Structure 1
Amino acid sequence: MVAQTQLPQLSGTSFDETVKMAITTLTANKLRSLLTMLGIVIGNASVIAMVGIGQGAQRLAAEQFESLGPNTLFVLPGTPEERSTSFDFTRTLVYEDALAIAEQVPAVQAVAPQINLNRVITYRDKNTNDPVVGTTPDFLSVRSFKVARGRFISDLDLERNNRVAVLGAEVARILFDEGNPIGKRVRVGAVSFEVIGVMEQKGSFLGEDQDNRVYLPLTTMANQVVGRTSPFGLEVTIISVSAKDEKSVSAAQFQIKNLLRLRHKISGEDDFEVQTQKDILQIVGTITGGLTLMLAAIAAISLLVGGIGVMNIMLVSVTERTQEIGLRKAIGARERDILVQFLVEATILAAAGGAIGTLVGVSGVLVVGALSPLPAPISPVAIVLAVGVSGGIGLSFGVFPARRAARLDPIVALRTA
């Protein structure tokens, strides 16, 4: 149905009049205009939401790594290639390596080697299958953990291979509900341990619950739970290290590498890796940044589809309004007036869709932030970019229909109508 638009003398049509006429034309076909804007709305909302969620993931990872302390380093066994391609990589670190780092590296303040594996933990008729960590007393200071009740592992526990255990907050809740587990005995696999402490709730770290762990003396873990698996000493899964201060991190990393190369008699590629908190955060940031960019690119396709929808509807509008165009040109409208008229209509559709899409996208980010641990920040850059792109798409995709309308011969247009 042809929109009925008042036709003033257009030989000198002002821009205000052009905008009013465009709004009148678009509101005459409300449903069609709304459906045309839908693609732009979805595109804008998707881009803003994906960028916000991606930045939230990066910020959450940064906050979690900062909770470790800026001075933390991690010594990992095997090469990076082995760890990324196989779960059965060479276990090259031993307890004696950790002792050597603590004694011979000047830039190091504390060292906490770990043996990690999963075991079934049982108390009476309750059980849970969770990670078990064999470690040393320095674990608390290196990893910034605290004990809520009882005590942590002591040097005496290590020397005597004592069968004592410290429960994570979640393990204590599962096995003992609200009861006091101190002094009770739990089974880790087939071995019985006395509970001497319960850890303070720590929360998740990169998606892993840190409260569902059980901590044992490293020597007890190696000798009575795992068994000796290396002829060179007590094999460990990872060695956590804290430098004396933030300025000492690089020195500690360099000194640890040199010491372990000497101890392992390495002349070629290292069979270990020393990572700082900054190194790991950079890796995580690269991954989350890449995912954010990929999701934003996918969402941006919706903007392209929306632009095609705008062009399609404007072409239909040109066909429907042939008589109006011929009449306006017959009474003095110039090609530039007709061109501007259709470009303004296309731009209004895209800009309105962009504004609505921005509101939807921002609302989505706020909902995600409220219902999840993600900070989910609002990105002003993403908003400006999405709205600017949507307006640009309306202008760009409106050019072809507008030029087609502007070049209609008034005589032919009136006859065709």
Structure 2
Amino acid sequence: MKKNKWIIGFLVISLICNLIVLKVDIIPFMMLRFEIKHSKNQPKISNIKSPEKIILNRSLEMANSNTIFTVFDEQSSFSESFLRMLGHGGRDDLFKRYNYPRAYLISGLTDYAKSEKDTVLMLKIAKIFDKYINDDGSPSFVLDKVDQVPFGIAAINLFKYTNNIKYEKFAKYIYNYIKSLEHNNIVLYRNNSNVQLNDVVGMICPFLVRYEEISKDRKSLLLCLKQLQFYNTYGVDKETFLPCHGINLKTNIKVGPTNWGRGIGWYLIGLSEYVKKEGRLTSQLNGLINSLEMLKTDDLVWTQFPGSDTKFDASSTTMFMYGINLSKPDAYSKQDVFKILNNYIKEDGTIISTSGDTHGINNYSQTFGESELSQGMLLMLLSTTTK
């Protein structure tokens, strides 16, 4: 009898261990591979009635959800995955939740509602955004990184649409935070860091350009220009106009690749928003766009590292298309968008295949999946199309 109890106990423990392995390792790995392999066999979004509505509804679902869709941690060994499941590894939920993917998703929703002049939609988005803001206009989360600044774009759009003063106060709170990070005219990516990243341009410049519209203070535009001029001087390749990932602040030497797709996207959207507003730096913008045109794949999309790999990256592609449309209105029509992204938007309206969050210069994610960032950028892209 005692021997039987030992056997039963061993079988139970073995079963539990196998279930854990399935949950944290095998199932996530197989689901990712299945999605990538079968994405091209899915119904095409351009052949579906009202594809914009489907994309919009899915975006609202993602914004309302507590699920974090963006890949922040790599698909790794069983031990590492198990520790993350127990909360002893990887980046915490607060870091992931109050970060640029969710910020650009909500801001993309407000851009789209604004372009459609859809008051009902804007009020729906306001209810979502109100989870991120206190009644006095301060953020309901700890504001401690530039990656959170894009939440301010949503606040600006909501203030312009509703006239509710709390959204204006939130935008001012964001602006003052940016100013607190300024050092020798440069808004630092991180305090005490010796490297400035092109991420900063995409995180703060679109906000700074738009903030002037409600503050009527051109100091925000001047601060935006300073970031772009610094990067143009020390971080941009003079022949291709491609930005390197980082600049060593002690030596002003370029560090990291110039063909990291999302990094180029960060720089491009900041630059294009400023050029659209002020009409300056057009030669840099046109030179960059010309290089991007040469780096497209045969399918007219871009990869994680344009020019040196072949795997579609939704973040770089949507950011490039959005930046190009800002500078050249209707370079992409709605029909163009759906045709080009046909194989990468699921039937439920989710755009797939976004490279995961970057871990540092020359340390890039190898895991792809859904992302709030690409979903938001897709909406921002659609907001620039007129037909």
Whichever structure has more strand as a proportion of its residues is 1
TM-score (norm: length of structure 2): 0.20
TM-score (norm: length of structure 1): 0.19
Greater relative CO, 1 or 2 (CA 8 Å, sep 6+): 1
